[in-house]
Amino acid sequence: MDQKIDSYLSGDEYLKYNLIEDLPIKNALCAFERLRFKIILSQKITLTRDEVITYTELCLLDNDIELPYSLSCDLINLCKNNDSHALFLQAILYEKGILPFGKDFSKAFNSYNEAYKLGYKKASYDLGRCYFNGIGVRKNYDLATSYLKLNLTNIKAKTYLGYIYFCNHNTQGIKLLNEANADEEIESFYYLGSIYEQNNNINKALLYYRTGSDLGEKRCHFKAGYLLYHSSNDYYKKIAKHYLERSKDDKCALELLGDIAKEEKEEYLNYYYQAFLKGADGQKYALSLLENPKTSRKGAQILKSIAKTNSSADFYLFKYYKELNQSKTAKFYLKRAVNKRCKNAIEYAEEYYPSLLK
């Protein structure tokens, strides 16, 4: 470790720019730089251009270090002078939302673009990533491809480019994804899983989703849980919950956890409520509230709020008011559900209210 730290302090570029994989060594370097950084700032020494760049990179490397306002001002001044490296770092700060910059994807994309135009070639990968994911700009696979092709030594670039090629029926797609996957680039597991799922090879898709989930790819958590839950294999259904619980920030995962809890006759209302808070339309939460006379009115209010975009909400409101013997109001919601072509409403009307179908 001492030898590597000495190399770092002597300016070894390979070690200096975030390429050290040994976490204890990274921590040691950060501790040393953090101390030196604090001394310089406390003495109010004017920072050179290279020090501004180095200390900004240090703040990005070490999440425990806040970006001082004075340093951010220095960085902004470098950006105003068209310093390509500074513009690249500013883009990262905007994308991550590090104060005082704040999260602004549009400004992040513009800064990446300016950095690239001014000669900072590393920004080409980030431009490709932005076009691929729609970060601060509309998704555009053609433009993403043109930038990502410049970065084929980057395994993440291979992942994105491989998926684009697959979507365009280019046989190189699977090859690039498999190359990225061989290096355990975690996003490649998600995209390979997606490809096999699209081709109805569920077992192969599950293999990639489950491995990706175990490696920490967040999107794989829900995908693995969803496919396991909908499998005909009872063992798979039992372990679906394990993957879905890793994805509790996902509204769909929370609703599915609620379904599982309901099947197992456990408390499920909180799952639906949390999904509602995360942006789910709230129908499952509302229907759960309707089951209890004390909360049924609140459930009906939620159904009314989503009825404009959810035709089945009208049908459930019909059933709710029918049970309250408010036939006029119930019929109003049934008719509205029929007009919105709700399948359940049409089937019910065919049997009991054929006149509504005329």
Residues 317 and 293 sit within 8 Å (Cβ to Cβ) = no
Q: What are phi and psi of 51, to 5 degrees?
A: -70, -40
Residues 6+ apart with CB under 8 A from 161: 128, 144, 145, 148, 149, 152, 176
**Dihedral sign, CA of 54, 56, 57, 59?**
positive
Q: What are phi and psi of 33, to 5 degrees?
A: -65, -35
Averaged pLDDT of the chain: 87
Least confident residue range of 20-34, 127-141, 279-293, 333-347 = 20-34
Q: Which two tokens stand for residue 239?
A: 């372990």
The C-alpha atoms of residue 346 and residue 339 are separated, in whole angstroms, by 9
Host H or E run for residue 191: helix 186-198
Rounded to 10°, the helix 296-306/311-323 angle is 150
The C-alpha atoms of residue 135 and residue 154 are separated, in whole angstroms, by 19
Under DSSP, is residue 328 helix (H, G, I), strand (E, B) or coil? Answer: helix
Q: With 60 as the cut, is the pLDDT of residue 167 above it?
A: yes
Q: With 50 as the cut, is the pLDDT of residue 294 above it?
A: yes
Give the number of other Cβ atoms within 10 Å of residue 304's Cβ: 14
pLDDT at 354: 86
pLDDT tens-digit map of 214-242: 999 999 999 999 999 998 888 888 899 99
Q: Which residue from 61, 70, 5 is spatially nearest to 38, judged by alpha carbons? A: 70
% pLDDT > 70, the chain: 86
Give the number of other Cβ atoms within 10 Å of residue 209's Cβ: 30
Q: With 90 as the cut, is the pLDDT of residue 15 above it?
A: no
pLDDT at 225: 96
The C-alpha atoms of residue 168 and residue 165 are separated, in whole angstroms, by 5
CA distances from 104 to 18, 65, 94, 100, 107 (A): 24, 21, 5, 11, 5
What is this structure's pTM? 0.77
What's the mean pLDDT in 194-207? Answer: 95
Q: Model confidence at 33, in pLDDT bands (50, 70, 90)?
A: low
pLDDT at 147: 97
pLDDT at 70: 82
Under DSSP, is residue 303 helix (H, G, I), strand (E, B) or coil? Answer: helix
Q: Which two tokens stand for residue 23?
A: 């976490």
Residues 6+ apart with CB under 8 A from 110: 91, 136
Burial 267-298 (b: 16+ CB within 10 A, else e): ebbebbbbbbeeebbbbbbbbbbbeeeeebee
DSSP code per residue over 122-166:
THHHHHHHHHHHTSSS---HHHHHHHHGGGTTSHHHHHHHHHHHH
DSSP code of residue 282: S
Q: Which residue from 93, 157, 94, 106 is spatially nearest to 129, judged by alpha carbons? A: 157
Residues 191 and 162 sit within 8 Å (Cβ to Cβ) = yes
